[in-house]
Amino acid sequence: MSVASSDISTSLPVDWESDKKHWPKEAAAILKEHGVVSLSRNDSYGIIDQDVCDNANQSAFTRVNEMHTRIASRGLDPQGIDQPYRFKEIICRDEGGRRFDIPIPWLGGFVDENRSIGTPLKPTEKKAFQVLHKSIKNAVQSVVNELWEDDEHYKQLNNKNRSYVAAAGFLMNKPGSHSQDWHRDGPDEGYIDCFVPLIDLNESVGPTAIQPGSHTSASAVREIADTSEVTTPILRKGNILLFDYRTVHRGLGNTSKSTTRTLAYAVFKRKELGSACDLGDVRNFPAALTLEYD
């Protein structure tokens, strides 16, 4: 069955922050059924304020440039074209380079903000990301609460401690990057990926392609990729894409001449009864060396 972009989208009212009676339930229902939902406002603006996105985008470039300088000082190609690399502060996730994952602490509350990421953030970076993370939490937490509302273990937890953020950061996709292979972020239930583009997306800058419904399939990724429908949400800056950790997806290559696509991400984790909120996303962020010390 074909799944159109409109089938996986929820339009939020202009006053969505004060009116959360209906849209979180609608978004959670779509996310549960299709394994993905996009959130957008029913006007021309993004859910996250434009200035917040712009400040975070500027800080993302500052962070990446600093890490690239540190990598170059070690005699490595910072673009990762010669060979992909993995450090605590930055990971090159493309065999051809130009696609980077930059983990940072989650600064939106309900998790340890001092989780080690190697080289500390600069004060201006920390401020920009903190404002962004609080805005993300304000929009996403209500959807996550609705999604897991019927889970028996979830019901027994204190309302303020039902979930936490297992990982956060931003993804930078530079011109010339390759499309990723189809993949799941992991096989585990109870994780929700949140993507927030920090620029307006179009088909050339490498948006994220999604296979709706694949989160409930027991088939191998290769089998799903050959048979499933694909949708590629083209989001405005500040709108939000949520998808299940198990949903098959891939970042497309950036074919633009000069536009770098930057998006912020957070991985919301359902807290299990009796567990602590200190378990990061170890599947996608195993131990690595740091660039903190020259």
Q: List, for residues 208-233, the tens digit of each pLDDT value.
A: 999 999 999 877 787 776 666 899 99
75: left (phi over 0), alpha (psi -120 to 50) or beta: left
Predicted local confidence at residue 171, as pLDDT: 96
Average pLDDT, the chain: 87
Structural tokens at position 71: 């990598």
What's the pLDDT tens digit per position in 137-188?
Answer: 999 999 999 998 876 666 666 665 678 899 999 999 999 999 999 999 988 8
Q: Other CB atoms closer than 10 Å to residue 15's CB: what's the count?
A: 8
Task: Provide mean pLDDT across the span 44-69.
Answer: 95
Distances (CA, A) of 138 to 46, 115, 141: 14, 21, 6
What's the pLDDT tens digit per position in 182-208?
Answer: 999 988 889 999 999 999 999 999 999
Q: Other CB atoms closer than 10 Å to residue 121's CB: what's the count?
A: 19
Rounded to an integer, what distance in angstroms lies between the CA atom of residue 143 and that of residue 153?
18
